[in-house]
Amino acid sequence: LHQKAGNRDVIEFHGNFAWHRCLDCEKRCETADINLEHIPPRCECGGIYRPECVFFGEIIPPNHLMRSRQLSSDCDIMLVVGTSAVVQPAALMPVIAKESGAKVIEINPESTPLTDSTSDYLIKGNAGEVMSRILNQLEHRIRTGG
């Protein structure tokens, strides 16, 4: 979604299912180009394709983790949207932001472990609905100059 919205600098912390990589030759291809009629899907070299995502128990790519930590420590405001805030190390990013002086705004239907310890504000509600309301308010302020 971020890329479809035009964002070019996106850290896919847990990866995505849009791409697969061969476990033997490292060939990378789009999921749409893989024959999923045969499981597991195979590369031309005979190796098995796997999605470019992090499964439970696997480590986050070190470059993604390092960059996420750096950006978290450098931000002024962090929006924490639609998360349980229990999966580590992702749940640590708002803590890093807070410790570095950022305001942390949590948008979730319910409180999370971050609510009392880290968040400056909790906006309770469905993430999509709340973000749409925020966007509408920002657009209104831009149009009216106030």
Q: How far apart are CA 48 and CA 24, in angstroms?
A: 7
14 given a catalytic annotation: yes
CB 30 within 8 A of CB 52: no
CB 105 within 8 A of CB 118: no
CB 113 within 8 A of CB 86: yes
Q: CB neighbours of 12 closer than 8 A, spacing ≥ 6?
A: 64
Q: Which of 14, 38, 64, 140 is catalytic?
A: 14
Backbone phi, psi, residue 78, to 5° = -125, 125
Give the DSSP per-residue string, 36-64. Answer: TTSSS-B-TTSPBEEEEEPPTTSPPPHHH
Catalytic residue positions?
Answer: 14
